[in-house]
C-alpha cells in the first residue's frame, strides 16, 4: 500500500510530467521513443 501511495501523489505526477516535457523539448522525437520503450518490453 505504501508504494502505491506515491502514484496517487500529485507531486509525483508533476515531477514525472516535467521530466517528460523537458525530454521532449531537449531531444524531440527521441523522448517519445524512450518513453514508449518500457511498454514494449
pTM over 0.75: no
Q: At what angle do helices 29-40 and 10-27 cross, to 10 degrees?
A: 130
Instruction: Look at residue 7 in the predicted model and tell me its pLDDT.
Output: 62
Query: Within 13 Å, how many C-alpha atoms sit on residue 34's CB side?
Result: 12
Identify the DSSP state of 7. Answer: G
Query: What are the boundaries of each domain within the chain?
Result: 2-40
More confident residue, 8 or 40: 8
Q: How far from chain centre, in Å, is Cα 25?
A: 14
pLDDT at residue number 6 = 58
Nearest-5° angle of CA 6, CA 9, CA 11?
Answer: 110
d(CA 7, CA 1): 10
Amino acid at each position: 500500500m505504501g508504494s502505491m501511495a506515491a502514484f496517487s501523489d500529485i507531486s509525483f505526477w508533476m515531477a514525472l510530467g516535467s521530466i517528460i516535457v523537458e525530454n521532449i523539448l531537449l531531444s524531440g522525437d527521441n523522448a517519445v521513443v524512450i518513453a514508449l520503450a518500457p511498454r514494449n518490453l
